[in-house]
Amino acid sequence: MTISAIHLVLLGALAAMSATASAFFMRFYVLSGDRFFIYFAAAFGLFALNSLCLTGVSPAAEPQHYVLILRLFGFLLIIAGVIDKNRSRAGGGSKSDAESRD
C-alpha cells in the first residue's frame, strides 16, 4: 500500500504544527526559565520528528512498535514534566509560586 498525497500533506502539516508548538514552548522557557516548558518543547519536537518519520513508512506498518516509539518518548516527557513541576511545588517552590497561591 502506498502513501497517498493527502496523507503526506496531513503528516507534513502535523509536523509543522508540532514544530511550531515546540518553538513556542522554547520561547516560554527562555522567558520564564521554568523547566516545565523545556519538557513540553522536547516532547513536541519528538512529535514533529515522528510525523516526519511516518512519511517514509507504509500506513499498514504504522501500528508497529518501532514507529510509535518517538511518540511514546514524547508522552513520557510530558508526564515527567508534570511530575517535576508538582515535586518542585511540593518542596517549597519559589517565591512567585507562594504569592500566586495567596
**Nearest by Cα to 35 from 79, 81, 78, 77:** 81
| pTM score over 0.95 | no
The chain-wide mean pLDDT, for the chain, equals 85
The amino acid sitting at 10 is L
Which structural domain, as residue segments, surrounds residue 38?
26-90
Domain-embedded: residue 10:
no
Domain membership flag for residue 53: yes
Higher pLDDT, 62 or 99: 62
Domain count, the chain: 1
CA nearest neighbour of 55 among 13, 20, 22:
13
- Please indicate, yes or no, if residue 1 is contained in any of the structural domains: no
Per-residue model confidence (pLDDT) at position 1: 53
Check: CB of residue 74 under 8 Å from CB of residue 50. yes
Residue 20 falls within a domain, yes or no?
Answer: no
User: Mind listing the pLDDT tens digit for each residue in 75-98?
Assistant: 999 999 999 999 977 765 555 554
Contact between residue 39 and residue 78 where contact means Cβ atoms under 8 Å apart: yes
Rounded distance between C-alpha atoms, residue 1 and residue 59, angstroms: 7
In a domain, 8, yes or no: no
pLDDT at residue 43 is higher than 60: yes
Residue 58 domain flag: yes
Give a yes or no: residue 85 inside a domain. yes
Asked if residue 14 is part of any domain, the answer here is: no
* Averaged pLDDT, 45-61: 86
